[in-house]
Every structure is written in C-alpha cells, then in structure tokens.
A = this chain, B = another copy of it.
Amino acid sequence: MVRPKQADQHPDLPTAIKETARGLIAENGAASLSLRAIARELKITAPAIYNYFPSRDDLVTALIVDAYNSLRDTLLVSQEGDEKSHAERIFSSARTYRNWALMHPEEYSLIFGTPIPNYHAPMEITGPAAAGSMSVLLGVLDAAWRAGALKTEGVLDSTPEMVQAWIDKFSYDGDPAVIQFAMASWAQIHGIVSLELNGHYTAFPKNVSVDSFFEIEIRAMLTRMGLKG
C-alpha cells in the first residue's frame, strides 16, 4: 500500500494553511495561533509550512493583508448599483462593514483587535492594505460631498490636528469636515462592532440582536451629515 503524497490531500497547501489558521484564530484567538497547531489540523508536520511562509510572522502578515483585502472587496461590491442614492450607499457601506466583521470575527480581530504579542506588523506591507480598505469608506463620503449631498457648514471651527494629518498624508483636497465625518463614522461603527464581538453588549441571556440598535445609530449618523436615511 502506497501512502498518498500529502500534496494530494491539500492541492493548494498555502491556502489551506491560511484557512486553517483563520479557523484556529476563530476558536482560540489570534494571540495563541501556532504553526504546530495548524500542522496538526492539516495532518502535516510543522516544518512543511516553511515551504510557503518563511516564518510565523510572515504567515500572520499574509493573514492581515488578506483580511484588509477581503474587507475592501466586500465594501466595493456593496457599492455597486448606479441607482443608489448617496444616503443608500453610505448606509449599505456601514451595514456591509458590520456584516463582514460579524461573518469574519477572526479577521476583524486580527486587523482591529489587540495586537498579537511579539508580532510586529511590517508597516510597508500592512499600511497600504489598511489604506486600501479605509479609502473605500472615505470614497463614499467624498462622493456624496462632491455631489453636494453633505451638510458640512458649522461642523468644524478649525481643523483638528488628526484630521489635518490625514489630509496631508493622502493629499485630500476636499472639505476637512468630510474627513471628520469619515473618522467619526468609522469610530462609531467600529465601536459598536467591537463591543458586540467581544461580548460587552450581549452579556445578557445571549442571542440578543444588535441589528436595530445599529440601524438607528447609522440613521443618526446620516442625519448629522445632513442626509436623510
């Protein structure tokens, strides 16, 4: 009896490694991810992983980049459809962001959660990936503003330091208030999603839906921007 080559069981091993890693992170958290656990799960030996990822940190970096790209792609798809109003587009981006996080909690915690101990993300790789997904969110607001759909008067007395930093970094030539809105909306959505994912909202009987609470908050967000949801 000839034992089949392992490759036969995992035609695309690098992908299988990453998928298994995501599964393990979902179970035990990103901090306790280990190459040996991945290998055990895949029924290969740990050194085999080194054929595809030079070290554990490189695997983690690949997972982070994948996560940012997945979020970005999901957001882009949600914006398709020319018939949508600006309010609808913003609304659907917000919903999509939350839904993506709820469906991929392990990836959300990987990019927005507490950093993994002893892992230092190489900014020249994760930076652009992060900017890619964030720029989609900003893009929706910017488009709405350029179409004159956003009320920005009186939002800012002067430009906050952080908003200015963003403007400088990305050479943004629109209204600073759009950046303020973008960062505020992001914080609001992230705040809800983060509390939700870590069980701070639902320490109740369990299975309490956050959906309608979230919808109301997004509507309030749109109202603040001068849009009707």
A residues lining the B interface (CB < 8 Å) = 28-32, 109, 112-118, 123, 127, 130, 155-156, 158, 160-163, 165-166, 169, 180, 183-184, 186-192, 194-195, 198, 200-205, 208-213, 216-217, 220, 224
Chain B residues within 8 Å of A195, by CB: 112, 186-187, 190
* Chain A interface helix/strand/loop/mixed: helix
**Residues of the B chain whose Cβ atoms lie less than 8 Å from the Cβ of A192:** 187, 191
A37 → chain B closest CB, angstroms: 11
Q: How far is the CA of A165 from the CA of B29 in the complex (A)?
A: 28
Contacts of A114 in B (CB 8 A): 29-31, 109, 113-114, 198
Min CB distance, A146 to chain B, in Å?
A: 22
* Pairs of residues from A and B, 7 with the lowest C-beta to C-beta distance, nearest first: A191-B191, A31-B31, A187-B191, A32-B117, A160-B212, A113-B114, A160-B213
A55 to B14, alpha carbons, bound, how many Å? 39
Docked complex Cα distance between A109 and B114 (Å) = 7
Question: Quick one: which of A115, A165, A195, A201 has the most chain B CB within 10 A?
Answer: A165
Question: Is the beta-carbon distance between B217 and A187 smaller than 8 angstroms?
Answer: yes
The interface residues of chain B lying within 8 Å CB-to-CB of A155 are: 216
A220–B209 alpha-carbon span in the complex (Å): 26
In the complex, which residues of chain B have a beta carbon less than 8 angstroms from the beta carbon of A194?
112, 190-191, 194
The verdict on A184 contacting B217 (CB below 8 Å), with A112-B198, A192-B191, A209-B161 known, is: yes
Residue of B nearest to A131 (CB): B203
Closest to A168 in B: B204
Question: 7 A–B contact pairs at CB < 8 A?
Answer: A29-B115, A31-B114, A114-B198, A123-B203, A162-B213, A163-B213, A186-B191
Give bound CA distance, A115 to B27, whole Å: 12
Residues of chain B lying within 8 A (CB to CB) of residue A112: 194-195, 198, 200
A216 near B32: Cβ-Cβ < 8 Å: no
Q: How many whole Å from A184's CB to the nearest CB in chain B?
A: 5
Given contact pairs A112-B195, A162-B213, A165-B208, enumerate 8 new A-B contacts (beta carbons under 8 Å). Answer: A29-B115, A31-B117, A113-B198, A161-B211, A162-B201, A186-B191, A188-B191, A189-B191
